[in-house]
């Protein structure tokens, strides 16, 4: 059954990880797992110090070319009656600590969720997604699984 926007947002916000989908000007999709924090209808994603090949990340280049993004959180279980997914569609922008943006509020939200960010503070940049649509789906007993 389709989730109402409030339930989709609640399930999404409670998830520990999501997948960020971006596409550049060429329309080619790119998807990566991300840690995140929800604050109202904004989702914050830090670019942290975990090993990466480069700081010139495809997700950041894509957002600069095309700010339309989607985030997906889900629960898979072998008991299919537990399945659900929640999606946040929105517009992204790249925040930097020196750009006069509110860096401290997003960082505090991320540190509340992920204690790792207290000792290893993300130096940026950070992605801010303004969510324009929350949607989702969850299994219910009145949905029949195909054999």
- Rounded CA-CA distance 109/117 in Å is 10
The domains of the chain are located at 5-138
Structure confidence at residue 145 as a pLDDT band (50, 70, 90): very low
Residue 113 confidence (pLDDT): 95
5-138, CATH topology level: Pnp Oxidase; Chain A (2.30.110)
Structure confidence at residue 104 as a pLDDT band (50, 70, 90): confident
pLDDT digits (tens, 9 = 90+) for 14-55: 999 999 999 999 999 999 999 999 999 999 999 876 555 556
Token reading at 56: 């010139």
- Residue 103 pLDDT more than 90? no
Mean pLDDT of all residues in the chain?
89
Calculated CA dihedral for residues 127, 73, 16, 102, nearest 10 degrees: 20
Burial class, 75, CB count within 10 angstroms (exposed 0-12 / middle 13-18 / buried 19+):
middle
């Amino acid at each position: 059954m389709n989730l109402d926007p409030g339930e989709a947002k609640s399930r999404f916000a409670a998830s520990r990880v999501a997948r960020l989908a971006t596409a550049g000007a060429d329309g080619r999709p790119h998807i990566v797992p991300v840690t995140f924090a929800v604050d109202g209808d904004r989702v914050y994603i830090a670019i942290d110090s975990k090993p990466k090949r480069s700081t010139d990340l495809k997700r950041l280049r894509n957002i600069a070319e095309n700010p339309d993004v989607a985030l997906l959180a889900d629960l898979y279980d072998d008991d299919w009656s537990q399945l659900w997914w929640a999606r946040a569609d929105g517009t992204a922008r790249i925040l930097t600590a020196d750009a006069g943006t509110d860096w401290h509020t997003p960082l505090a939200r991320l540190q509340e969720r992920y204690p790792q960010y207290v000792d290893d503070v993300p130096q940026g940049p950070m992605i801010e997604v303004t969510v324009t649509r929350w949607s989702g789906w969850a299994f219910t007993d009145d949905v029949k699984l195909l054999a």
